[in-house]
Structure 1
Amino acid sequence: MNKVTCECGHQNPYGTYLCESCGKPLQESDEKVANMRYEGVARRSQTYKSSIVDKIWNFFSSVKVGIWIIVLILVTSSLGTIFPQEMYIPPGTTATEYYQEEYGIAGQLYYDLGFHNLYSSWWYMMLIAALGISLVIASLDRFVPLYRALKKQRTTRHTAFMKKQRVFGESEGSLTEEDRTIMKERLKQKRYRVKEENGNLFAEKNRFSRWGPYVNHIGLIIFLIGGMLRFFPGMYLDEYVWIREGEREVISGTNGEYFVENREFMVELYDDQEEDLFQEALTREDNPVVSNFQTSATLYKRPEGIIGDNAELEKVKDHDIRVNQPLTFEGISLYQVDYRLNELSTFTFTVESDTVDLEEDMTFQVDLNDPARYYEFENGYQIELLEYFPNFYIDNNGEPSTQNRVPDNPRIIFELFTPDQDPEAEGTEGELSLIGVRVNEELNGERDHVIRMEDVELVDATGLTVRRDHTLPFLIAGGAIFMVGLIQGSYWHHRRIWIQEKAGRLYVAGHANKNWHALKRDLSFVSENTRLPEAADQLDDEAENEEEVQQKKGGNA
């Protein structure tokens, strides 16, 4: 669109309200005071509205649209807190079963709608991206023309501009050189930067505070980028791993390079012999309080260039993992968060028979965490593990199932074959037994053999959180920049004062984006004992006139 040329010669973009150079109003308005929010400059969103790019720009530059996006994010975020997210459900359980069993129909609907993984869903990421786009476009739409207008402002302003300022005063006469010197000294005393042109003065301070909201936006954008980076591979890791005492597990997020071993797990309770103000509450017999639980861990690393599970690992270091004392390496930290004492680990069984001579002791062990499928004996007997339910229960269809992979209530179905039976032959049926803690049932008629539980081995397990967060610097930087912008825009205020003479008259005008009373005090201080006319708040005068009119109407009534 064609630019608008002011009488001062400056070419302004189409739609400009106040000339960017001299400040003369370029559009007619009945308002007594000029709208100085963006210095009367032309914003792109208010000027170009024809192409699809313009419409997209105008949509995202709207403050109302930005507020609605924030409201939608807040509402959807609150939906994610109704039930636990999938990452926080008990380890070993499946999300499909957990939400329905724990929360019924509401939980199933919660799962079907995808709210169980709300914060990583594509549509939630789209809302975050929309907020970021809104912040960028809204900031550019206002910052660029505002910066251009403030940079090009002149010392001598148009008389119409002066009269359109909220704080304004005029009188006949002229200033002496002594008056100008006194006013300049007083303005500098108030920390104003003073410019003089043909006897006219322009004083300004705290312009940097005008950029506070845009610094806020930069901080928010960096913060949002940090939040979105959490869903990129390698940037963020928050996994949960259970390690039984004496076992070794691969560490998530290391591509199988690092392993951690639980050498020993210990729990310490508060000592009832110590004297402490809260000792009685800390050492209750029915509910003792844990003073410390820790994992004595060893970190291992797979040698470079060696592939395979049987490769000998290199020991990196030993570390006692306690609460808030993680094992840290290469940006990954292992935190102590939970434990389970006396977890079932191994069942020892023996085969007995009152009718058949077994000729040898038939004892075998079943690792409840990784059970073998077949167990063979030298006398020709074979046992096949048909079904294993670590945490046994009967589902809604009346079928046996398991709640999770933790062996809290194990059930095992064994099929025993005698030496004269071929397990691989079609139609061969062995003796079926369902065995668990205090459970030993036959499933296909009378048995000649009985599989009895001889012994149980227990083990302590530690729960560790594996965490890596490369997005933290973005979040910290974004938050810090946001606070800088907040302080910048809250504790400093942009103030300007124009003093000039024209055709035998003195004019004084002032503008502040906040704290008008401080600006008025500054003007009173500067004009004291000089010929400078007293400046008044035109909006206050207007309000007083309206009040007088209302009082007269009331008196006449």
Structure 2
Amino acid sequence: MENIICACGHSNPYGTKLCEKCGRPLTEEGKQTKVVDMRYDGTAIRSKTYNKTVIDKIWNFFSNVKVGIALIIITLVSASIGTILPQEMYVNAPEPSKAEYYEKVYGFFGKLYNSLGLSNLYSTWWFQILVGMLAISIIVASLDRGLPLHKSLKNQRVKRHESFMKRQRIVGEGQVSNPDETLDKVEQKMTELKYHVRRDGSALLAERGRFARYGPYINHVGLIIFLTGVMLRLVPGFYVDETIWIREGETRAIPGMDGYFIKNNKFILEKHDDKPQDEQTNQGVNAMAKNYQTDVTLYKQPEGAIPGDIDNLEKLRDYSIRVNHPLKESSFALYQMNYRLNELRQMNFDLVNKATEDDSLGQIEIDLTNPKKEYDLGNGSSVQILVYTPDFSGFENGEPQTKTSIPNNPAFLFRMITPETPKGEVSFVEIRKPPLEPLGENKYRMKFAGAEMRNSSNFTIRKDSTIPILFVGGIIFMIGVVIGSYWNHRRLWLQVEPDGRVLMAAHVNKNMFSMKKDLDTVTTFAGLPPYEDQLDKSEDVKKSTKKKEGDNTL
């Protein structure tokens, strides 16, 4: 598209409404308007100029203020839906049981809420796309309007055409006796009022508070930084909110923290003395607990170590993690959240003859965390574990099933080999029920001989590297709010002809009262002609016209 050539000879980009040099209106609408639109100083705005190619349409869509407001409303409504029920990160239940938790606690609504993904709303792909679209809208709108405005304000001229001056809201015209003295007095007074004054021959431009025009765009920058921090939470390493169960004596890698390991040395539970003992031994956190803590050791792998290798860990420190007293290390923290008492650690069985019961061929000790496949008892006797289900929940198609990986209800399918039964006998053993013998009656059986218990601690690992980003974005946003709310951009144009004719115009983006107050001061001091507010005048004309029409109807 061709540039627009003004009557002054200046070539303006297509879409410009006011000449960049003299300020003449370049559109028919501008020529017929009594007060010109100075929102962007008449510069060409891309979204209001081009609308032909696909790129133009995409640009115009995201730069549309209505689209931006709609995205903000949709994002706020979506985020509010995520507050109806607790998010998964705040649900104190093992990962496989969280779906059951919502259904059990909140009924059908909780089940539907979880099924739709609303229980993990802020990490869903569609919510992140929504946040991304909002960020794109803010960026495009800022570039679309902010850059042309900055260019216009930076290159504005002192001398302006009379048609530009007379189409400002504040206009004054008259005669003065001494043009040079008048210009000097205006410059002096406006400088005292903290205006930046420029002169070009017999023309003067006084300007104050230009930075106030950048307030909304500073808001946009703050929002973009804030939304970037929100989206970075999906990037591995920036944000971690995980839970982990660690049994006493166990060493495990800390989720999300490469190279860090933690060992549960001992769990300590302090109880209120005035509570019944049977109430105090309930599983999990309850009101009976006075204090519970876990003594841990924090380790770190040396550089170059194989991931998961725990043989050559470097000890960092010992610490007692209590409620509200987390273990903090570098950029993450471990919080004591829950505990589980008396979890099965080891089960012991004797291989006995069913007829005599007391004649044991040997005892096996099964580590329920990592059981062996076979146990050799000597004298030609051994026991093999064919199937191990930590939390037996029943049979499905003839195969035993486990509900969780926690040894709440261990069950075993044993093969027992003795000198009398070299081919072996099979027995399914569940503690709460008599053993099953699927291949016929056995001569030998596995007799329960005891168990060892231990406690488990539940920790939440939290790391949030996005907090500084969110904080910076919030601070920048508030700076933009303050600038846009408490400062305004004021300008005064004054041109004095050699014959003493004075033409004055003024503009302010908001708070016209402050501009008029400064004008009253300078006109009194420099002896300038009185000014008028063309919008107030036009409003008075409309009111008088309506009044006359009302009188005529009477």
Q: Same fold (TM over 0.5)?
A: yes
Displacement of 1:37: 0.9
Specify which of 129, 148, 154 is matched with residue 145 of structure 1.
Answer: 148
1-side partners of 2:52 and 2:250: how far apart? 68
> Do residues 131 (structure 1) and 130 (structure 2) align?
no
Given that 1:92 and 1:405 are in contact with CA atoms closer than 8 Å, whether structure 2 keeps it comes out as no
How has the CA–CA distance of structure 1 residues 387 and 167 changed in structure 2, closer, same or farther, with 3 Å as cutoff?
Answer: farther
Aligned residue for 2:158, secondary structure, equals coil
Aligned residue for 2:547, secondary structure, equals helix
Displacement of 1:247: 1.9
2-side partners of 1:398 and 1:535: how far apart? 98
Specify which of 219, 244, 247 is matched with residue 247 of structure 2.
Answer: 244
How big is each residue's C-alpha offset from its partner over 1:206-250, in whole Å with a ceiling of 9 and x where there is no partner? 101111111221222222222222222333322211222222111
Match of residue 220 from structure 1: 223
1:330-349 → structure 2 map (5 Å cutoff): 330-349=330-349
Displacement of 1:252: 2.3
Displacement of 1:504: 4.8
Deviates more, 1:14-23 or 1:523-532: 523-532
2-side partners of 1:485 and 1:208: how far apart? 10
Match of residue 493 from structure 2: 498
Aligned residue for 2:355, secondary structure, equals coil
Given that 1:135 and 1:217 are in contact with CA atoms closer than 8 Å, whether structure 2 keeps it comes out as yes
1-side partners of 2:51 and 2:398: how far apart? 65
Displacement of 1:150: 0.9
TM-score of the two chains, using structure 1 as the length reference = 0.84
Aligned residue for 1:48, secondary structure, equals coil
Given that 2:416 and 2:444 are in contact with CA atoms closer than 8 Å, whether structure 1 keeps it comes out as no
1:30-45 → structure 2 map (5 Å cutoff): 30-45=32-47
Deviates more, 1:478-487 or 1:296-305: 296-305
How has the CA–CA distance of structure 1 residues 342 and 508 changed in structure 2, closer, same or farther, with 3 Å as cutoff?
Answer: farther
Given that 1:358 and 1:379 are in contact with CA atoms closer than 8 Å, whether structure 2 keeps it comes out as no
TM-score of the two chains, using structure 2 as the length reference = 0.84
Let me know the Cα RMSD of the aligned residues.
3.5
Aligned residue for 1:430, secondary structure, equals strand
2-side partners of 1:432 and 1:136: how far apart? 66
Match of residue 517 from structure 1: 513
Given that 1:249 and 1:259 are in contact with CA atoms closer than 8 Å, whether structure 2 keeps it comes out as yes
Aligned AA (1:41)? T
Specify which of 451, 464, 481 is matched with residue 469 of structure 1.
Answer: 464
> Do residues 480 (structure 1) and 475 (structure 2) align?
yes
Match of residue 295 from structure 2: 296
Aligned residue for 1:315, secondary structure, equals strand
2-side partners of 1:430 and 1:495: how far apart? 94
Aligned residue for 1:485, secondary structure, equals helix
How has the CA–CA distance of structure 1 residues 77 and 287 changed in structure 2, closer, same or farther, with 3 Å as cutoff?
Answer: closer
1-side partners of 2:215 and 2:361: how far apart? 83
How big is each residue's C-alpha offset from its partner over 1:324-363, in whole Å with a ceiling of 9 and x where there is no partner? 5443444333233333344443344445666236533744
Aligned residue for 2:378, secondary structure, equals coil
1:47-446 → structure 2 map (5 Å cutoff): 47-89=49-91, 90-93=93-96, 110=113, 113-174=116-177, 176-255=179-258, 257-268=259-270, 287-288=287-288, 290=290, 292-305=291-304, 307=306, 309=309, 311-350=311-350, 355-356=355-356, 359-360=359-360, 362-378=362-378, 382-385=382-385, 388-391=388-391, 393=393, 402-407=402-407, 409-415=408-414, 417=416, 419=418, 430-436=426-432, 439-440=433-434, 442=436
How has the CA–CA distance of structure 1 residues 389 and 376 changed in structure 2, closer, same or farther, with 3 Å as cutoff?
Answer: same
1-side partners of 2:310 and 2:117: how far apart? 40
Given that 1:92 and 1:406 are in contact with CA atoms closer than 8 Å, whether structure 2 keeps it comes out as no
Displacement of 1:384: 4.8
1-side partners of 2:48 and 2:89: how far apart? 46
2-side partners of 1:263 and 1:212: how far apart? 56
Ranges in structure 1 where 5+ consecutive residues have no aligned partner: 273-285
Given that 1:227 and 1:475 are in contact with CA atoms closer than 8 Å, whether structure 2 keeps it comes out as yes
How has the CA–CA distance of structure 1 residues 201 and 65 changed in structure 2, closer, same or farther, with 3 Å as cutoff?
Answer: same
- Number of matched pairs: 536
Aligned AA (1:7)? A
Displacement of 1:132: 2.2
Displacement of 1:381: 5.1
Aligned AA (1:336)? Q
2-side partners of 1:403 and 1:495: how far apart? 72
1-side partners of 2:10 and 2:106: how far apart? 69
Given that 1:245 and 1:265 are in contact with CA atoms closer than 8 Å, whether structure 2 keeps it comes out as yes
Match of residue 542 from structure 2: 546
Match of residue 5 from structure 1: 5
2-side partners of 1:357 and 1:402: how far apart? 30
How has the CA–CA distance of structure 1 residues 396 and 494 changed in structure 2, closer, same or farther, with 3 Å as cutoff?
Answer: farther
Given that 2:338 and 2:459 are in contact with CA atoms closer than 8 Å, whether structure 1 keeps it comes out as yes
Aligned residue for 1:150, secondary structure, equals helix
1-side partners of 2:269 and 2:304: how far apart? 39
Aligned AA (1:229)? L
Deviates more, 1:117-126 or 1:214-223: 117-126
Displacement of 1:66: 1.8
2-side partners of 1:267 and 1:535: how far apart? 82
